[in-house]
Amino acid sequence: MHLSDVETHYIPADVAPDFGAVGGSDDLRAIVGALLTYGLVIAVLMLVVSATTWALASGSGSWHTAQKAKLGCFVAIGGATLTGAALTWANWLLDIGAHL
């Protein structure tokens, strides 16, 4: 048997995965946006409480409490930054998925 005797099968050019069959990307985008909004609101509230505690503790001479409140401020800022980055990353992934 030679290669010229082998029957070749061609795949039509229009065969591709149907990404339209997988729905819900708009719902997923809305859910992710809502959850990340709650995360940002909680981070801002945590920052307000920690900054207030830091100011009151520093004024009254309670250095241990002031140190813990300062750490709370840094954690709140870091949490808000990560939450914003997560929103950007999720939107980027959803946009990339639509183009594949």
Over residues 38-83, the pLDDT tens digits come to: 988 999 999 999 999 999 999 999 999 999 999 999 999 999 999 8
Q: Which domain holds residue 52?
A: 43-100
In a domain, 73, yes or no: yes
State the pLDDT confidence band at 17, using cuts at 50, 70 and 90: very low
For residue 1, being part of any structural domain is answered with no
Give the integer Cα–Cα distance in Å for 89 and 24. Answer: 18
- In this predicted structure, what is the pLDDT of residue 90? 75
Count of the separate structural domains present in the chain = 1
Q: What is the model's pTM?
A: 0.63
pLDDT band of residue 11 (cuts 50, 70, 90) is low
Domain annotation covers residue 11:
no
